């Protein structure tokens, strides 16, 4: 025979008010403990001002970028250096995007093909924007002038490379049987360099083919001098 033991639920003691003993043996309720007040957060006005400044600068930057992109236009620039007098080719030109400036009379990119075949009126450095004054349709040689080609060895040229527009003198040098002591003043003709091209002579030696512009009256004499192979070139001026 089994017996069942009934367990009574455990009573929990509620925390009542704390009592404090007095001097006469009686008790009274103690005063509640004060709850500390949390500190109020301080606003950092410096950080707020800095955040506002950053937002303002960002907005101004976006406005500037938008305005710059809308004002940009496509214009023609020099891909490579172009010497004065050279005939322009498509390979020497390129299109670039720049901000429009009414003070600079650039050439629109759509007109690039019209520049091909014209001659450079001035020396143009690589990356420079072309203007209406950068090229000319004037034919070379002009009226009353002729072009003459002169083949020269490196020893008969100045150490400084010649470029289009250089003012030079083509001087007849002495022949193998001539004596410098008895020779008269050498013949010298004024000319303007149109182009310079490197090449090889009949025996494979390096030479420069210099094309120069001279007055019509001097062209036959210069051609005869160049045919002898006994000429030298003197650089006089690079004033354009």
Q: Any idea of the CA torsion for 208, 213, 218, 219, to the nearest 10 degrees?
A: 70
In the predicted structure, residue 5 carries a pLDDT above the cut 80? no
Of 21-30, 97-106, 159-168, 183-192, minimum mean pLDDT range: 21-30
With contact defined as beta carbons under 8 Å apart, do 171 and 225 qualify?
no
Q: CA of 224: how far to CAs of 114, 220, 228, in Å? A: 38, 6, 7
Q: Indicate yes or no: pTM above 0.75.
A: no
Confidence of residue 182 (pLDDT cuts 50, 70, 90): very low
What ranges in 72-148 are assigned the alpha helix state H?
Answer: 112-115
The predicted pLDDT at position 146 comes to 93
DSSP string, 166-211: -EEEEEEPP-TT--TTT--PPPEEEEEEEEEEEEE-TTS-EEEEEE
CA distance readout (Å), 149 to 162, 191, 207: 14, 11, 12
Confidence of residue 56 (pLDDT cuts 50, 70, 90): confident
- Give kind and range of the element (H or E) at residue 225: helix 219-228
CA atoms within 13 A on the CB side of 24: 2
78: how many CB neighbours lie within 10 A of its CB?
20
Nearest CA to 151 out of 233, 236, 238, 237 is that of: 233
Query: Of how many residues is the chain composed?
Result: 240
Residue 199: closest CA among 149, 146, 147, 148: 149
CA 121, CA 164: separation in Å to the nearest integer?
A: 10
């Amino acid at each position: 025979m089994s017996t069942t033991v009934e367990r009574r639920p455990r009573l929990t003691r509620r925390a009542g008010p704390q009592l404090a003993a007095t001097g006469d043996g009686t008790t009274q309720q103690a005063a509640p403990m004060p709850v500390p007040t949390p500190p109020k957060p301080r606003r950092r006005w410096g950080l707020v001002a800095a955040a506002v400044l950053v937002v303002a600068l960002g907005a101004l930057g976006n406005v500037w970028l938008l305005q710059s992109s809308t004002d940009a236009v496509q214009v023609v620039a020099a891909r490579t250096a172009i010497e004065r007098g050279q005939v322009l080719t498509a390979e020497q030109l390129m299109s670039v995007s720049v901000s429009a400036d009414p003070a600079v009379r650039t050439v629109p990119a759509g007109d690039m093909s019209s520049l091909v075949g014209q001659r450079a009126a001035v020396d143009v450095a690589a990356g420079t924007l072309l203007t209406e004054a950068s090229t000319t349709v004037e034919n070379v040689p002009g009226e009353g002038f002729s072009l003459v080609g002169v083949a020269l060895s490196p020893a008969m040229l100045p150490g400084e490379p010649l470029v289009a527009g250089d003012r030079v003198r083509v001087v007849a040098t002495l022949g193998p049987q001539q004596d410098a002591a008895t020779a008269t003043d050498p013949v010298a003709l004024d000319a303007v360099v149109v182009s310079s091209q490197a090449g090889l002579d009949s025996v494979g030696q390096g030479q420069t083919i210099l094309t120069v512009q001279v007055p019509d009256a001097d062209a036959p004499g210069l051609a005869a001098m160049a045919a002898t192979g006994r000429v030298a070139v003197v650089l006089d001026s690079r004033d354009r």
